[in-house]
A and B are shown apart, each in its own frame.
Chain A
Amino acid sequence: MAQSLNYLKESPSQTAGPYVHIGCTPNFVGIEGVYAQDLGSGPMVNADTRGERITIRGFVYDGGGTALKDALIEIWQADADGFYNSPSETRGKADPNFLGWARCPGDMATGEFLFETIKPGRVPFRDGRLMAPHVTFWIVARGINLGLHTRMYFSDEEAANAEDPVLARIEHKVRVPTLIGKRDGDTVTFDIHLQGDKETVFFDI
């Protein structure tokens, strides 16, 4: 027998279930008076936030093409200059008027999610090459056993997308468009497909 490495195991995930809102967005389901407001709800920007205002909206579809009405979506992104508002950001100080994180429950009638944010700047890959502007998405819901990580890139960044080291890693190029949010004016549409011909690329990070 060799020495024990003594690492712990990560707690196994369990589904967020149909009532994830009670814990994460209680006001959204009428549980009022416990928290003044739901964490991560509302616009991510204030008057002093730097950067180009955009709205990201979309749906999460199951393998039958039905939009999920009970998903919870969180996003995490860099500020307009490509800095994260995190103690682990060592390259510079992020915009103090931009947290870069938000959560949105899908609408209970339609399933649509919506984030009012800014377009992020470019962030370097591990080897220093710049990644194209992107927003990290994390999706949980009833029936999803372990939260799904993906990224949204921007359709108006063709040149940057073409040299992005993460997109370059996707062997089946026909799947790359599943990660591209379609920009039309100030709105970026990003639909997530959990399964099927249009299945979104998800990452093991």
Chain B
Amino acid sequence: MKNTLPETTPFFARDREWHPPAYTPGYKTSILRSPQRALISLEGTKSEITGPVFGHNILGEFDNDLIVNYAKPGEMAIGERILVHGRVLDERGRGVEGALVEFWQANAGGRYRHKKESYLAAIDPNFGGCGRTITDADGNYAFKTIRPGAYPWPNGVNDWRPAHIHFSVFGHGFAQRLITQMYFEGDPMIWICPIVKTIPDKQAIEQLIAALDMNATIPHDMRAYKFDIVLRGRRSTLFENRLEGN
């Protein structure tokens, strides 16, 4: 058992200049789905600084291996084998322990296994496209998958998504809840994607580009990409008479 104090303080204010704004007309679907009134600012109460905790008991043996977790016995998903790994950190640079990380993606040809998907690329009978894991004591996570393909989507007449993996992350407080996407180093499609371009700051976009990590590559097996995810940090408790935060 670690002797750590409960995390009882609110989170740092979210930097909404760093995130994409709600209304981004280059991404057409956002036009009618973007709130137009000012958000009501609310310093985190118990309702926001608390959050659910998920135990390792929810995980199955192959939840973190998309190459085999939907495949028939003895078979594997088709595609470039990759290991995706990294840390879930907070804005103070501390690893976030016990964070549930869920991920989903298209197959090697850029096709999702979904009822509403109509792209003509082939379905891979051995690829489902979902996985999940929980971070260790230092915030580390890892999973195996195949590199997803790029695909066209109905927005402009010729818009394509770069290869990407979706991530959903739980921290320790519900206000840290985050969904984002991981892109791949060196992909020229990143910079022409209307969804990527909803993020106004180039440095912020670069924060979502996983780097090729040859040190973590498994020789003769799979290349590795490193993708760190940063969740909001908590305010400190510097004074004993202000346990709810400074």
In whole angstroms, what is the CA distance A68 to B168 when docked? 20
Interface residues of B in 1-47 (CB under 8 A from A): 6-8, 11-16, 18-22, 24, 27, 29-37, 39-47
- A32 CB, nearest partner CB in chain B, Å: 9
Interface contact B208-A11, CB-CB below 8 Å = yes
Q: What are the interface flags for A39-72 relative to B under an 8 Å C-beta threshold, 1 for contact and 0 otherwise?
A: 1000000000000000000000011101010100
Interface contact B60-A36, CB-CB below 8 Å = yes
Interface contact B35-A169, CB-CB below 8 Å = no
- B101 CB, nearest partner CB in chain A, Å: 10
Q: Counting CB contacts under 8 A, is A30 at the interface? A: yes
Interface contact A90-B8, CB-CB below 8 Å = yes
- B2 CB, nearest partner CB in chain A, Å: 11
Contact of A126 among B45, B166, B205 (CB under 8 A): B45
Interface residues of B in 185-210 (CB under 8 A from A): 195-196, 198-199, 201, 204-205, 207-208
Q: Counting CB contacts under 8 A, is A84 at the interface? A: yes
Q: What are the interface flags for A4-28 relative to B under an 8 Å C-beta threshold, 1 for contact and 0 otherwise?
A: 0011111111111111111110100
The binding surface of chain A is classed by DSSP as: loop
B245 (CB) vs chain A CBs: closest residue: A126
Interface residues of B in 55-72 (CB under 8 A from A): 58, 60, 62-63, 69-70
> Which of B15, B21, B58, B128 lies at the interface centre, i.e. has the most chain A CB atoms within 10 A of its CB?
B128
Q: What are the interface flags for A78-111 relative to B under an 8 Å C-beta threshold, 1 for contact and 0 otherwise?
A: 1000001111111100000001110000001000
Interface contact A148-B117, CB-CB below 8 Å = no
How many residue pairs between the two chains, A and B, have CB atoms under 8 Å in the bound complex?
284
With contact pairs A31-B113, A141-B33, A195-B36 given, residues A88 and B6 touching in the complex (Cβ less than 8 Å): yes
In whole angstroms, what is the CA distance A131 to B46 when docked? 10
| Chain B residues, CB < 8 A from A19 | 104, 112, 114, 116-117, 166
> Which of A91, A99, A123, A144 lies at the interface centre, i.e. has the most chain B CB atoms within 10 A of its CB?
A144
In whole angstroms, what is the CA distance A19 to B123 when docked? 15
A196 (CB) vs chain B CBs: closest residue: B36
Interface contact A88-B33, CB-CB below 8 Å = no
With contact pairs A39-B58, A76-B47, A88-B172 given, residues A202 and B40 touching in the complex (Cβ less than 8 Å): yes
The binding surface of chain B is classed by DSSP as: loop
With contact pairs A84-B46, A204-B16 given, residues A14 and B180 touching in the complex (Cβ less than 8 Å): yes
Q: Counting CB contacts under 8 A, is B224 at the interface? A: no
Interface contact A22-B113, CB-CB below 8 Å = yes
Interface contact A87-B116, CB-CB below 8 Å = no
Q: Counting CB contacts under 8 A, is A185 at the interface? A: no
Contact of A10 among B15, B53, B196 (CB under 8 A): B15
Q: Counting CB contacts under 8 A, is B91 at the interface? A: yes
In whole angstroms, what is the CA distance A24 to B166 when docked? 10
Measured CB to CB, the residues of A under 8 A from B are 6-24, 26, 29-31, 33-36, 39, 62-64, 66, 68, 70, 74, 76-78, 84-91, 99-101, 108, 123-126, 131, 134, 136, 138, 140-149, 151, 166, 169-170, 175, 194-195, 199-205
Between A and B, 20 residue pairs with Cβ closer than 8 Å are: A10-B18, A11-B208, A14-B196, A22-B112, A31-B70, A63-B31, A63-B34, A63-B36, A66-B32, A70-B116, A76-B47, A87-B53, A100-B52, A108-B116, A126-B43, A142-B33, A145-B20, A145-B21, A147-B178, A199-B35
